[in-house]
Structure 1
């Protein structure tokens, strides 16, 4: 359910923009992907990015967040999320036709930029951008509040964490992951990625990780991205606000809430890394380790679903917010 227009608009000056997963999360996703991509894909990415270091994906993992604040990159701001017009915690659902507006969203962006990485008739500079966007957006789409409309993806839900007043979106992006790991440096991300890779290969994710690639199809990037979006969005109901907005609004969330959220955050970061590796392998080689697909030249075609009045208003508020998903002043 949406808040009244006056309430939503009154929140806008108070909301500090944040970045999905923060630097720590995005870099960790990139490091995990580096552990699972093929040698051919790694060589392709290093060549295209002109970076032969062992941090070649992590080095560009947050480029998209900086670029969207430039004049040239301002158009890309709404591509970092999809505002699911659902009703958590009663129901969570993402609908591409309903939730992805004309200016685009993270699902359409993944589809479009996937198809701009390899074509030789596209300039190297534009192909580099496309790869950097895909690396970043595969991280963003696994953050549950980047796949949710409620209070501008949780930016309008004020909470306290470790005694600091912030918002719900921000603690999922940064506060909780950084509390878990103890920092946000590249070294911290590498350490976290090594722990998660071990869990993927032979630990608690070993049995489940193969299922994380279910629904992946390079021929239909919209459908593939929607699988990831729906997966992340489901956690809004089960982990982000399982007892409703009022249960977290204005509350200190460092204790039991944090303890319950961390397993979800860890798993979503792990999923993002595995799926990013598989997606890049499909783009470069046309196959994952478990199967093969031909590459696609699909362009995104979509209609505009009929929206209820509150949905139209929610979209207007997001536009008034300036398309920030959430903390420009946060370290990244």
Structure 2
């Protein structure tokens, strides 16, 4: 059964798929993966469509699914998805990714500053009017990221700040980091990033989610820099004490043929900090305690009010996490706000469940 967290991770991708039929098929398979059996009536209610539409989609799915996946009707009990092995949600997305014109647009504009419309139409076998309708739908979903896709008769291109664009792509592609649809030669890039992490003496702290977040940032930054799309106009202090990972990060990007400097170097460093919610080495822990003592004092007082004076077992780590968050905000308020806004759905859940902590 797929978790609620997994559904949140894929939610932006579902928003960006402008073809209703493709989106419905994905949703049907998601529902059948999380529930053993569902009636067509229940599926219709979930999708907000008629049962006739669901019957049509199910019939189409029977012909499209891989050979080892089967849709079985159990009389009045409903429909179930069976397979010769467990099916993961990412496989559903992998199967339908290439059917979406919207995803083709997003993939093309990830690797290039602009796309030739004539070539794109020929490669994808669609008309200009069809592309225009899909781009209009996509732009409605992009407003939260302050981005727009510009379409003319000759070119497709992005309009908006490059930092906002990369935040959008990170939000979109994190669930697909292991897939070759967006990231070619994944294993080579992944091994470079893991070697980099191993060199930092992380005290054996490992969290798969944070590692995937970091690898995704590494891919996106590398791809955009090679495409000639630069980060500009960031405000930061070059002699910042917490800038201690910079040389290691520069060496990592050099393995991909990318020379980090200026704003790009700071952005890559900030992405690295943002990917990991806790301190990575004793050296940095000591550095922060020496130079940000007032944050530790205030953080400890704050945590004591939350637990009513009872220290948690991991109190020191929790305190360091809190200080690290404050330092990231000090590093760049504008970037911190952008990165926090990346998962608006998560923030909304936090605000509802933990109103006293949210502020």
Instruction: Give the TM-score taking structure 1 as reference length.
Output: 0.21
Instruction: Give the TM-score taking structure 2 as reference length.
Output: 0.20
Q: Which has the higher helix share?
A: 2
Task: Considering Cα pairs closer than 8 Å and 6+ residues apart, tell me whether 1 or 2 has the greater RCO.
Answer: 1
Bigger Rg, structure 1 or 2: 2
